[in-house]
Structure 1
Amino acid sequence: MDVTVIWAAIIALGLLLYVVLDGFDLGIGIVFPLFPDEEERDLMMNTVAPVWDGNETWLVLGGAGLFAVFPIVYSTVLSALYLPLVFMLVCLIFRGVAFEIRVKANRTKHLWDLAFIGGSTGAAFFQGIALGAFLQGIPMADGRFAGDAFGWLTPFSLLSGFGLVATYALLGSCWLIAKTEGDLQRRLHKLVWPLTVMLLGFIALVSVWTPLQDPLIAQRWFGSGLFWRLAPVPLLVLACAVWMRWAVQSRHHKTPFAAALALVLLGYVGLLVSLWPYAIPQQLTLWQAAAPRESQTFTLVGASFILPIIVAYTAMSYWVFRGKLRHGDTHHYH
């Protein structure tokens, strides 16, 4: 049993669940400007009011796991991406405060709307920038970060930032389709396909740019048997796009969200394949970056108790608050 691989899988799963769960509630803030009606905005926020703070648990889990099991990665990534991560946290703070205060505000409600929009969009953008900078590689010397404070600011990281904003906007719109009805749902259906096309464009750009900027990734993709195993992935992405188009035209309620999840999962699989087996691209493998086996085993015992509890209360909260919301339910959760 390779404890290092098990821990890498746990952290990867935690990050995927964060992207999916917190992604759609950040996405609601991103599409907020397209729906200026106050009652509709109240309804949109209430679709995630019972679950939004619990969604961020997975980000905490991923960070804690990284600190405990891959401390070199934690310290290096934090040093290299200090500014975008701080900006992301500031945005999340503004968004969280807006969530709590907006419902009680009267004269300043429009200001809290702006805080919610800016916080949601900024958090998604800086998460994407951090991801892009990480994929480009972090310079190291003697086991420490050896770059400069603004090394993360590159055309590729900016592309990645905008791509993640589009991803979250699509997830948020599809979630709202599943939770609303009537005229609001009809306008959301119209929004989903342009967002899907935008996301497909970003996927194509990143897929072409990634091997071009990194010869080792290009070698792994095209110079080994891996290419033929990955060949079905673009076809699956195309199939998901056709599925999404059909779901939108047929005015399905839950299918668009399932199609959006499939697109995110395919992109995430491509990302993991590009990174494997590195903890920091082209610098440290998972095993080189890992803590001693005893430490990994000890923390794994704790995780085996904590993970089922997190999964259980997350599943229960979504089950309890399942179903659609209507305008009469606007203040139900506050």
Structure 2
Amino acid sequence: MELDLPLVWALLLATAVFLYVAMDGFDLGVGILFPALKLKQDRDVAVGSIAPVWDGNETWLVLGGGGLLAVFPLAYAIVLPALYMPLIVMLLALVFRGVAFEMRFRAATPQGRLGWDTGFWLGSTVAAFAQGVALGAFVQGIEVQGRAYAGGWWDWLTWFSLLTGAALVAGYGLLGATWLVWKTEGALHELARRLARRFAILTLVAILAVSAVMPFLQPGFAARWFGLPTVLFAWVVPLAVVALAWVLFRALAAAAPSGPRTSLLWRDAIPFGVALGLFLLCYAGLGLSMWPHIVPPGITIWDAAAPPATQAFLLAGAAVLVPVILVYTGFVYWIFRGKVRPGEGYHH
């Protein structure tokens, strides 16, 4: 049987994008939470919890963007002009956030540190919002004539894209809060637990709002969610979201301070794992709605694919590169697997 290279690459790039959202999402979420972290010590601990991993988390964004250009060049040539503005804003915000992350440790005065902390929050929030806006603009459909983008400069700006932008900020805030539940102790742990409950409610409301609208954005979406036979298994996703929401609130209640926090490390990790599960279910629902289009509503992965020889050559490289990245990433997370204490770093 001949290998379906566009399908293999579509699954690989979809995995890379999800890993970026999951990994960079929680460190963006930590930045989004900064206004709620009033104490310098709490902010230092929060930043210390992501410092060993935050640069590596963005590797998956590079892999996803580079892979799209190399393997699906038609999709890249159409999507980029349609989303130039939110993507440029996202990249500038990520750069500004990175500068603020480094400079907050070098600020000579409390006012200077507060300024860089504000920049870190602003860069994280704007980057998350821009990613959500780009996602919404992509999902609602891109106007294409022939093999080129035929829409206008502001087509990305709609009420739906603004809704998805706000939804992603809420979701990243949930990831950041549950990450801090896992990685911190004492008063900061308790604050993170309260923030996680609030952002969980916001995220679930956002999921409900986006899910209520999405089937009606395009006829193909409605057919998948309400037509036979897909309706028989499509509703597994929302039911699973409800189940995970229940587990999340139970896990947050169980993460309340009681005894030595280090001994509860893995119990404290459950809310973060459940939050990632919610993101995975939403991602699966998005994939179910769009499949097999890589540029909705009309260009499939096979339409946009590069020549088979190109795909095969790049797949050989990815077969080596991706496992190396996964092993290295897993090793870093294992090394820094403990909780962070003020002035002490990680404690295993």
> When the two structures are superposed, what TM-score results if normalisation uses the length of structure 2?
0.94
Matches for 1:67-106 after TM superposition, within 5 Å: 67-106=69-108
Q: Does 1:240 align with 2:244?
A: yes
**Distance (whole Å) between structure 2 residues aligned to residue 146 and residue 297 of structure 1:** 31
Q: Does 1:117 align with 2:121?
A: yes
Q: Given residue 44 of structure 2, which amino acid in structure 1 is its aligned partner?
A: D
> Which residue is 2:149 aligned to?
145
SS of the residue 2:52 aligns to: coil
Using the TM superposition, give the Cα deviation of residue 232 of structure 1 relative to its aligned residue in structure 2, in angstroms: 1.9
**Distance (whole Å) between structure 2 residues aligned to residue 136 and residue 229 of structure 1:** 23
> Which residue is 1:297 aligned to?
312
Equivalent residues of 2:225, 2:235 under 8 A apart: no
**Distance (whole Å) between structure 2 residues aligned to residue 234 and residue 276 of structure 1:** 18
Q: Does 1:267 align with 2:269?
A: no
> Which residue is 2:273 aligned to?
258
Q: Does 1:46 align with 2:48?
A: yes
Using the TM superposition, give the Cα deviation of residue 195 of structure 1 relative to its aligned residue in structure 2, in angstroms: 1.0
User: After superposition, what is the alpha-carbon deviation per residue over 1:262-295, rounded to whole angstroms, capped at 9, x for unaligned?
Assistant: 1111101001111100010112011001011111
Given candidates 324, 327, 334, the residue that maps to 2:342 is 327
> Which residue is 1:63 aligned to?
65
User: After superposition, what is the alpha-carbon deviation per residue over 1:191-244, rounded to whole angstroms, capped at 9, x for unaligned?
Assistant: 111211111111111111011221221012212211111122222111111101
Q: Given residue 225 of structure 2, which amino acid in structure 1 is its aligned partner?
A: W
Equivalent residues of 2:96, 2:123 under 8 A apart: yes
| More displaced 10-residue stretch of structure 1: 86-95 or 203-212 | 203-212
Q: Does 1:220 align with 2:247?
A: no
> Which residue is 1:166 aligned to?
170
| More displaced 10-residue stretch of structure 1: 191-200 or 290-299 | 191-200
| More displaced 10-residue stretch of structure 1: 249-258 or 110-119 | 249-258
SS of the residue 1:253 aligns to: helix
Q: Does 1:179 align with 2:183?
A: yes
Using the TM superposition, give the Cα deviation of residue 105 of structure 1 relative to its aligned residue in structure 2, in angstroms: 1.0
Q: Does 1:311 align with 2:326?
A: yes
Given candidates 288, 292, 309, the residue that maps to 1:277 is 292
Number of residue equivalences: 331
> Which residue is 1:19 aligned to?
21
SS of the residue 1:328 aligns to: coil
Using the TM superposition, give the Cα deviation of residue 321 of structure 1 relative to its aligned residue in structure 2, in angstroms: 1.0
Q: Does 1:130 align with 2:165?
A: no
Unaligned 5+ residue runs, structure 2? 256-266
Using the TM superposition, give the Cα deviation of residue 328 of structure 1 relative to its aligned residue in structure 2, in angstroms: 2.1
**Distance (whole Å) between structure 2 residues aligned to residue 224 and residue 144 of structure 1:** 33
**Distance (whole Å) between structure 2 residues aligned to residue 220 and residue 174 of structure 1:** 33
| More displaced 10-residue stretch of structure 1: 49-58 or 189-198 | 189-198
**Distance (whole Å) between structure 1 residues aligned to residue 323 and residue 218 of structure 2:** 38
**Distance (whole Å) between structure 1 residues aligned to residue 250 and residue 337 of structure 2:** 24
If asked which structure has higher relative contact order (CA below 8 Å, sep 6+), I would say 1
**Distance (whole Å) between structure 2 residues aligned to residue 79 and residue 319 of structure 1:** 40
Unaligned 5+ residue runs, structure 1? none
Using the TM superposition, give the Cα deviation of residue 134 of structure 1 relative to its aligned residue in structure 2, in angstroms: 0.2
User: After superposition, what is the alpha-carbon deviation per residue over 1:4-30, rounded to whole angstroms, capped at 9, x for unaligned?
Assistant: 100000100000000000000000000
Q: Given residue 45 of structure 2, which amino acid in structure 1 is its aligned partner?
A: L
Following superposition, which runs of at least 4 residues in structure 1 exceed 4 angstroms of deviation? Answer: none
**Distance (whole Å) between structure 2 residues aligned to residue 14 and residue 37 of structure 1:** 35
